[in-house]
Amino acid sequence: MIMKKNVREKLPQRLMIGFKLSGRRAIKGWSMWKLSQISGLAISQIQAIESGNSNYTIDSLIAYIDAFGLSIKFGEKDEKRETRLNELLNEFEKTEEKDENLS
């Protein structure tokens, strides 16, 4: 699966957001169903946010974080972290391409 450049550039940030939020849900011991009931989001919206692989609305993100009593905080980009995430994404894509060629 080769991604378009504009999607790929945004993916590391979405992956990091999804990873952190799904981790928060796991720490709380909440199922997606429970979060859905509390936030008013559909399970498919929760999956979109946590997977980081698809676009979701800011309203969905706000509903998700509101359910946990969290807020959005802005800061400067961490270039080292972003570079490492891109390296990991490259490794994943290479592995995925190899798997597709073996099929």
Q: What range does the domain containing 60 cover?
A: 5-102
CATH code for position 66: 1.10.260.40
Q: How many domains does the chain have?
A: 1
> What residues contact residue 81 under an 8 Å CB cut-off, 6+ apart?
16
Which helix H or strand E contains 23, and what residues bound it?
helix 5-28
Contact between 80 and 42 (Cβ < 8 Å): no
pTM of this structure: 0.64
Q: What is the pLDDT of residues 20-37, one digit of tens each?
A: 899 999 999 999 999 999
Q: What is the pLDDT of residues 35-56, one digit of tens each?
A: 999 999 999 999 999 998 788 8
